[in-house]
Amino acid sequence: MTLFDGITARLIDTDRLSVNVLERVGDDPATAPEHTVVFVHGNVSSSLFWQEIMQDLPSDLRVLAIDLRGFGGTEHMPVDATRGVRDFSDDIHATLEVLGIPSAHLVGWSLGGGVVLQYALDHPVLSLTLQSPVSPFGFGGTRRDGSRLTDDDAGTGAGGANPDFVQRLTDRDTTDDAPTSPRSVFRSGYVAAGYTSENEDVWVESMLSTSTAGGNYPGDAAASPNWPGFAPGTSGVLNTLAPKYFDVSGIVDLAEKPPILWIYGTADAIVSDASFYDLNHLGALGVIPDWPGEDVAPAQPMVSQTRDVLSAYVEAGGEVTELPVEGAGHAAHLERPAVFRRALLTHIGYVGRPADPAPPTEAIILRSAD
């Protein structure tokens, strides 16, 4: 595990499993919850992806990043997909309990966005930051209103994983000799064209920490009479986001609504209204044959679904700040770190040094109960 200057890792033993946590040297364990930030990574990644932003946040905050089960240094226990992402969110809660953190500002990226939304449904949080989050209705297989396209969620879940990509994860392939290598997938899917970093090897290392053992990534699949011929199984990471298991739109009905920052890249290839990871969209493009048509298998409008749910959240008394980052891909915190940092600090109400730059208010669309 490649750790940056000032970052340490330790295993936290909980009553559920052993969880790997990244922390900063010098952070005070007695820091109040309102000055504590917890980062949750996305799919096929780990806490290593948060290290640059952890280094860059003010020293009087307490900052942690947690590896989900089956990723990074956390125990590779199977994931019960029939619980949606609750295995992940329950693991985080158990970890924070051991660390003596009753509440915090939670930051979730992609899959992690869904995890922190589930956490907020079950436990109090001070705020939520959602970076390129999965739709509140899961990944694939729904119309804009969240209604499911088929009774078995055909075309979603583990059956959609590219077998060669999974094999290259298993083989710990660090090359860029094929479009399905993890390094190539990072360059084409995680970030927008033009992004370069001296830390790319660390980002690939993080991806390669993904467990492909049974019950982890991607999971099992079931046969389906519906196009494209498969449906989600009951275990594994990708199945947690199948619509029949995952729906966090209930945040609208929370009695206590934490403020939400929604930040995303406008060039995101993974989470968008025309995702290149949505099999229905690929069918419409002719990449996957025998697509049954728009009426039967429309692409999932992921960003629009998120906007609709968050707008309803505002109408019900919540507060949402939406920040589209022009030209960024799926990882705004890597691609536009200064924008991400300023937006996060503003969102959590941090009052810092006079030298701290002003928030990018001209780029923020604010929705609130007022």
Grouped pLDDT means (10 residues each) for the chain, 370 residues = 96 98 97 97 98 97 98 97 98 98 98 98 98 98 98 98 98 97 98 97 98 97 98 98 98 97 98 97 97 97 98 97 97 97 95 52 46
Q: Is the peptide bond before 218 cis (omega within 30 degrees of 0)?
A: yes
Q: What is the pTM of this model?
A: 0.95
Alpha-carbon span 333 to 197, nearest angstrom: 13
Whether 1 is in a domain gets the answer no
CATH code of the domain containing 140: 3.40.50.1820
Q: Centre a 10 Å sphere on the Cβ of residue 28 and count the other Cβ atoms it contains.
A: 12
Looking at residue 177, its pLDDT comes to 95
Residues in the chain: 370
Q: Is residue 144 packed enough to be buried (19+ CB in 10 Å), middle (13-18) or exposed (0-12)?
A: middle
Looking at residue 321, its pLDDT comes to 97
Three-state DSSP state, 321: strand
Looking at residue 367, its pLDDT comes to 54
Q: Is the peptide bond before 324 cis (omega within 30 degrees of 0)?
A: no
What range does the domain containing 181 cover?
7-367
Looking at residue 365, its pLDDT comes to 52
Looking at residue 1, its pLDDT comes to 87
Whether 202 is in a domain gets the answer yes
Q: How many domains does the chain have?
A: 1
Whether 317 is in a domain gets the answer yes
Whether 191 is in a domain gets the answer yes
Whether 271 is in a domain gets the answer yes
Looking at residue 370, its pLDDT comes to 38
**From residue 260, how far is each of 76, 241, 318 by CA, in Å?**
31, 21, 8
Whether 2 is in a domain gets the answer no
Looking at residue 356, its pLDDT comes to 52
Whether 343 is in a domain gets the answer yes
Q: Indicate the helix (H) or strand (E) that contains 65.
A: strand 62-66
Whether 211 is in a domain gets the answer yes
